[in-house]
Amino acid sequence: MTDCFQSRAPLLEVDGLSVDYGLKGVLSRAIDGVSFVLRAGQSVALVGESGSGKTTTAMAVAGLLSPNARFSSGEVRYRGNRLPIDNDAGMRPHRWSETSVVFQGAMNALNPVHRIVKQIAEPCIMKLGMSRGEAAARARELLELVGIPSDRGAAYPHELSGGMRQRVMIAMALACRPSIIIGDEPTTALDVITQAQILKLLAELRSQLNLALILITHDLSVVVECCDRVMIMYAGRIVEDGTVAQIFDKPKHPYTRLLIESIPNPASGKRIIRSIPGDPPNLVNRPSGCAFHPRCPSAMAVCTTEIPRLDTVGGERVACHLHRSLALDDKVAAHA
Ligand code: SF4
């Protein structure tokens, strides 16, 4: 990956992570051999359709998977130390203080019967051992940081607009001074103007606090606003991983290309938005070979039998047989 973060030490290393979900005795593989590195200050978007594995990947890192999740292989390291991701109690000290999450739908995530200052102060008391007075002062400071006047801290969630509630969620996520923020579709329920304001706020906080950001989204247009890098996921695997410029200017994977073509572009004058044919794969009975082959306009015979490897091609990673010979060229050049 050729970006300005390359020289910094890894903050987070996800190495060959595979997670299954058990349901009524049947196991389905939600993510399969996911590997990536995240550095301080870097922002990466996890993009894909429902069931692509983006939320499972991010929640595995945060130690917030549902009880029916099973880690079948791989590990996650934070600042070089292995995280006990398969141990709920072991992950408790890491949650919120190293990695925290801004959930979508703030109205559901906030407690309707408590004032917002109390809700932001709570993790400061529990995790940082602050007194009630210190925690309330920290909560008011955080409200100002996310653009809410501190005297609004006495409000209940229903007294705030959707955008302000989402700002409160961001303040709560920052309470224990984490170095990684995960945004789980943080702007999904908001109108476009408020969405732009929240994305701008996330981008500003990231640079001000040197935060790393993992943004989960199915909306590629959101990515351009606040990410350096994009990882496209399909059927639980990363299929393309590059900088925003690489992904948008010259997407290599056919799925990425189709995702980009499905973004509405009023400037183009086209009235028809292209959709991706077919349905996302059934993870209990996934297609053989490349899981995208039943929907891929470029599929070849090899695609039905052989799973493409995630290879480095021209400075980014891509998993597609169309690029296999270029990946081999890159390998030879690297060893020359
Ligand atoms: Fe399409 Fe084959 Fe590439 Fe899969 S490996 S994306 S089916 S060309």
Mean pLDDT score of the chain, rounded to an integer? 89
Q: Are 231 and 48 in contact (CB under 8 A)?
A: no
Q: In this predicted structure, what is the pLDDT of residue 2?
A: 44
Q: Is 276 touching ligand 1 by the criterion CB < 6 Å?
A: no
User: What amino acid is encoded at 320 in this protein?
Assistant: C
pLDDT per residue as tens digits for the range 5-14:
565 789 999 9
User: What amino acid is encoded at 61 in this protein?
Assistant: V
| Alpha carbon of residue 209 to chain centroid | 19
Radius of gyration (C-alpha) of the chain in whole angstroms? 21
Task: Using the atom order of ligand 1, give the atom closest to the CA of residue 255.
Answer: 6
CATH number of this structure's domain 3-98+179-269+276-281, picked from the four choices 3.40.50.2000, 3.40.50.720, 3.40.50.300, 3.30.70.920: 3.40.50.300
Looking at the chain, the whole-number percentage of residues with pLDDT higher than 90 is: 62
Q: Is 102 touching ligand 1 by the criterion CB < 6 Å?
A: no
Q: In this predicted structure, what is the pLDDT of residue 270?
A: 60
Task: Using the atom order of ligand 1, give the atom closest to the CA of residue 298.
Answer: 8
| Mean pLDDT (whole number) for 220-228 | 83
Q: Is 295 touching ligand 1 by the criterion CB < 6 Å?
A: no
Report d(CA 294, CA 281) in Å as an integer: 9
Q: Is 167 touching ligand 1 by the criterion CB < 6 Å?
A: no
83 DSSP assignment: P
| Mean pLDDT (whole number) for 212-225 | 86
Residue 103 has pLDDT above 90, yes or no: no
Residue 195 has pLDDT above 50, yes or no: yes
Q: In this predicted structure, what is the pLDDT of residue 331?
A: 61
What band does 333 get if pLDDT is binned at 50, 70 and 90?
Answer: low
pLDDT per residue as tens digits for the range 30-83:
999 999 999 999 999 999 998 899 999 999 999 889 889 999 999 999 999 999
Task: Using the atom order of ligand 1, give the atom closest to the CA of residue 239.
Answer: 6
What band does 267 get if pLDDT is binned at 50, 70 and 90?
Answer: low
Residues 3-15, buried b or exposed e (16+ Cβ, 10 A)? bebeeeebbbbbe
Where is pLDDT greater, at 289 or 217? 289
pLDDT per residue as tens digits for the range 129-148:
999 999 999 999 999 999 99
| Alpha-helical segments (H) within the chain | 54-62, 88-91, 106-109, 116-128, 132-145, 162-174, 192-209, 220-226, 244-249, 254-261, 324-335
- List, by residue range, all CATH 3.40.50.300 domains of the chain: 3-98+179-269+276-281
What band does 327 get if pLDDT is binned at 50, 70 and 90?
Answer: low
CA of 103 to the centre of ligand 1 (A): 33
Q: Exposure of 277 by Cβ count < 10 A (0-12 exposed, 13-18 middle, 19+ buried)? A: exposed
CA of 292 to the centre of ligand 1 (A): 6
Residue from 17, 5, 2 nearest 213 by CA: 5
Structure token digits, residue 119: 């809700």
Residue 330 has pLDDT above 70, yes or no: no
pLDDT per residue as tens digits for the range 155-168:
999 999 988 999 99
Distances (CA, A) of 153 to 117, 127, 146, 315, 332: 5, 20, 12, 47, 60
The residues, any chain, with a CB within 8 Å of residue 303's CB and separated by 6 or more, are 289, 290, 293, 296, 321
Q: In this predicted structure, what is the pLDDT of residue 3?
A: 53
Looking at the chain, the whole-number percentage of residues with pLDDT higher than 70 is: 91
- Overall pTM surpassing 0.85 (yes/no): yes
User: What amino acid is encoded at 59 in this protein?
Assistant: M
User: SS3 for 108?
Assistant: helix
What band does 269 get if pLDDT is binned at 50, 70 and 90?
Answer: low
95 DSSP assignment: B
CA of 291 to the centre of ligand 1 (A): 8
Structure token digits, residue 30: 């939600």
Q: In this predicted structure, what is the pLDDT of residue 1?
A: 44
Q: Are 215 and 223 in contact (CB under 8 A)?
A: yes
